């Protein structure tokens, strides 16, 4: 599996400016812990894909090295070249990213609802047990 272009662009900066030191790069752009950067170059075992850099990472790299986020994402120096296709691909990737995040949020909402229900049932059970204990003490 090939490293995504945006990850390749970040790797080029790390290699050329920091002699391959992810830790020094991370310190330079203010992203801690450095593992947030390091994971961009490792396949995620859960998804089988390379993770995409967060907006925070892209913004920090863009600001610090005066490189547009578009150039980071595409690797192109001249966005006029196949501009429509590049923007379409970036938009498609971003939409896919948002869909994945939405799915995760939905999953967390379901999990939260399930846990709230369990908590309510647990509280009802505790109250019933206390009531039964009081009745037994009276009897």
User: Residues 116, 129: one domain?
Assistant: yes
Predicted structure pTM score: 0.55
| Boundaries of domain holding 136 | 82-139
**pLDDT class of 87 with cuts at 50, 70, 90:** low
How many domains, the chain? Answer: 2
Q: What is the pLDDT of residue 70?
A: 84
What's the whole-number mean pLDDT along residues 100-129?
Answer: 88
CA distance 74 to 87: 9
User: Residues 45, 87: one domain?
Assistant: no
User: Residues 94, 52: one domain?
Assistant: no
User: Residues 73, 86: one domain?
Assistant: no
User: Residues 121, 73: one domain?
Assistant: no
């Amino acid at each position: 599996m090939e490293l995504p272009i945006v990850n390749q662009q970040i790797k080029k900066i790390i290699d050329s400016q920091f002699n391959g030191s992810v830790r020094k790069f991370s310190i330079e752009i203010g992203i801690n812990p450095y593992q947030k950067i390091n994971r961009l170059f490792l396949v995620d075992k859960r998804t089988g894909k390379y993770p995409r850099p967060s907006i925070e990472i892209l913004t920090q790299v863009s600001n610090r090295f005066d490189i547009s986020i578009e150039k980071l994402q595409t690797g192109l120096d001249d966005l006029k070249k196949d501009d429509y296709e590049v923007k379409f691909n970036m938009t498609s990737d971003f939409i896919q990213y948002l869909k994945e995040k939405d799915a995760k949020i939905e999953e967390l909402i379901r999990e939260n609802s399930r846990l709230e229900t369990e908590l309510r049932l647990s509280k009802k059970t505790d109250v019933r047990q206390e009531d039964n204990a009081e009745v037994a003490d009276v009897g």
